[in-house]
Amino acid sequence: MDWPAANPDKRSKKGFGVPMKTLTTNCVYYAAYIIAGKLAEQFGEDSSEYVAKAQRTKDAINKNFWNEKTGRYDYLFDDTIRCDHAEALGLSFAMLFGVADDAKCESIIKNTYVSDHGIACVWPSFSRYRIGNDYGRHSGAVWPHAEGFWAIANLRKGNTAGFEKEFFSLAHKAVRDLQFAEIYHPVTGEVYGGLQ
């Protein structure tokens, strides 16, 4: 929260904070506009503004985040960097919410790395957090809620093998640990904290 005050020349000109765009957030905005449009229609109100905002958001996601080279959407970008890491929630949301068409969904499934113990929240782990057998808490580690969204996205797109891999990975952890821990190590599958 102190970053904008300490970096006034780099802070967002609109809003607050770090001026970056992330796939997950933009997919959530798209879905929210779709839902707002449906709610407006249900209450007999004009939904055209929400429908137009949803379409503009979807078009912007596909224009700015899709990466032909990797065959999937990029994780984030700002005025100085572009990160083409695979981000589980954003890719799942793009598939679940209809941001990605069928061809893009196939490409995402084909070109997204999934560890033996589930899809990592972000892959590969950022080098500053990849030390020995350690991975970043928010890059490299497996988060059950991200696994769940990835499983559902795969199932809805007809990739039953991808669904089963995540589903059984989740089930194994729940039975073994009698709970879902917050995160797991991508190589060992053990409860893990990750590096911050």
Residues 120/140, Cβ–Cβ less than 8 Å? yes
pTM metric for this prediction: 0.91
Q: Output b/e per residue, 47-67; b: 16+ Cβ within 10 A.
A: beebbebbeebbeebeeebbe
C-alpha span between 134 and 125 (Å, rounded): 9
Predicted pLDDT of residue 7: 77
Looking at residue 189, its pLDDT comes to 96
The whole-number pLDDT of residue 84 equals 94
Per-residue pLDDT of the chain (196 residues; tens, 9 = 90+): 676 778 777 777 777 667 779 999 999 999 999 999 999 999 999 999 999 999 999 999 999 999 999 999 999 988 778 899 999 999 999 999 999 999 999 999 999 999 999 999 999 999 988 999 999 999 999 999 999 999 999 999 999 999 999 999 999 999 999 999 999 999 999 999 988 7
Runs of H (alpha helix) within 43-119: 48-64, 88-97, 102-111
CA-nearest of 128, 118, 91, 95 to 187 is 118
Amino acid at 191: V
